[in-house]
Chain A
Amino acid sequence: MAYEQEDHPKLQFPLDSNSYNITAEIGAGVCSKVYTAQCLPINSTVVAIKSIDLDQSNANFRNLVGRETNTSSLLSHPNILNPHCSFTAGNRLWVVMPFMSGGSLESIISSSSPNGIQEQCIAIILKETLTALSYLHSQGHLHRDIKASNILLDDNGRVKLADFGVSSSFYKSSSVYRLGSSPFSQYWIAPEVIHSHKDYSFKADIWSFGVTALDSTKKFSETFQDMVASCLRKDPANRPTADELLKHPFFESCNGTSEFLAENLLRGLPSVEERFRAASKILEEGVGCDPNGDWASGLLLNRRMTSIIEGNGNEDEEFEVHDPVSPVESTQAVIPCDDDGEEQQPATGGRGNEVSAETMVNELMALMTSLDDQKEKVKKIINQLGVKTIDREDGLEKENARLRLELEREKEQNLKLIQVINEEDELLHQNERLRLELENEKLRLELEKLKMHISAT
Chain B
Amino acid sequence: MKINRNILGTKAKPHPYSSIIIPGGATSRAVARRLPQPVALLHTATAANVCDKSSPTNMKGLFKSKPRTPVDIVRQTRDLLIYADRSPDSRESKREEKMAELCKTIRELKSILYGNSESEPVSEACAQLTQEFFRENTLRLLITCLPKLNLEARKDATQVVANLQRQQVHSRLIASVYLEANLDLMDILIAGYENTDMALHYGAMLRECIRHQTVARYVLESEHMKKFYDYIQLPNFDIAADAAATFKELLTRHKSTVAEFLSKNYDWFFAEYNSKLLESTNYITRRQAIKLLGDILLDRSNSAVMTRYVSSRDNLRILMNLLRESSKSIQLEAFHVFKLFAANQNKPPDIVSILVANKSKLLRLFADFKTDKADEQFEVDKAQVVKEIAAL
Distance A243 CA – B117 CA, assembled complex (angstroms): 9
Distance A188 CA – B328 CA, assembled complex (angstroms): 37
CB of B115 within 8 A of CB of A55, answer no
Interface membership of B126, Cβ < 8 A: yes
CB of A192 within 8 A of CB of B237, answer no
Distance A16 CA – B207 CA, assembled complex (angstroms): 28
Q: Separation in Å of the A79 CB from the closest CB of chain B?
A: 16
CB of A196 within 8 A of CB of B150, answer no
Closest to B332 in A: A58
Q: Separation in Å of the A181 CB from the closest CB of chain B?
A: 14
Interface membership of A73, Cβ < 8 A: yes
Q: Which of B298-325 contact A (CB under 8 A)?
A: none
**A to B contact number (C-beta, < 8 Å):** 115
The verdict on A196 contacting B155 (CB below 8 Å), with A67-B241, A68-B207 known, is no
Interface membership of A29, Cβ < 8 A: no
CB of A4 within 8 A of CB of B237, answer no
The verdict on A140 contacting B159 (CB below 8 Å), with A54-B283, A188-B173 known, is yes
CB of B235 within 8 A of CB of A54, answer no
Q: Which of the listed residues A2, A194, A196 has the most CB atoms from chain B within 10 Å of its own CB? A: A2
What class of interface size applies to chain B in its complex with A?
35 or more
Residues 44-71 of A, flagged 1 when their CB comes within 8 A of B and 0 if not, give 0000000000110010010011111110
Interface membership of B389, Cβ < 8 A: no
Q: Which A residues are in CB contact (< 8 Å) with B282?
A: 88
CB of B245 within 8 A of CB of A68, answer yes
Distance A54 CA – B283 CA, assembled complex (angstroms): 9
Interface membership of B138, Cβ < 8 A: no
Q: Separation in Å of the A39 CB from the closest CB of chain B?
A: 15
Q: Which A residues are in CB contact (< 8 Å) with B244?
A: 65
Residues 101-122 of A, flagged 1 when their CB comes within 8 A of B and 0 if not, give 0000000000000000000000
CB of A68 within 8 A of CB of B120, answer no
CB of A15 within 8 A of CB of B236, answer yes
Interface of A is mostly: loop
Interface membership of A220, Cβ < 8 A: no
Q: Which B residues are in CB contact (< 8 Å) with A191?
A: 113-114, 121, 126, 163, 166-167
Q: Which of the listed residues B115, B162, B238 has the most CB atoms from chain A within 10 Å of its own CB? A: B238
Distance A333 CA – B117 CA, assembled complex (angstroms): 31
Distance A86 CA – B329 CA, assembled complex (angstroms): 22
Closest to A187 in B: B211
Closest to A83 in B: B238
Interface membership of A456, Cβ < 8 A: no
Interface membership of A11, Cβ < 8 A: no
Q: Which B residues are in CB contact (< 8 Å) with A1?
A: 152
User: What 6 additional pairs, Cβ within 8 angstroms, besides A64-B241, A68-B242, A188-B168?
Assistant: A2-B151, A69-B245, A86-B236, A139-B155, A192-B120, A243-B117
21 A-B residue pairs with Cβ-Cβ distance under 8 Å, sorted by A, are: A2-B150, A4-B151, A4-B152, A55-B328, A65-B241, A65-B287, A66-B245, A68-B204, A70-B241, A85-B236, A87-B235, A140-B159, A188-B168, A188-B173, A189-B166, A190-B123, A191-B166, A192-B114, A192-B115, A197-B114, A243-B117
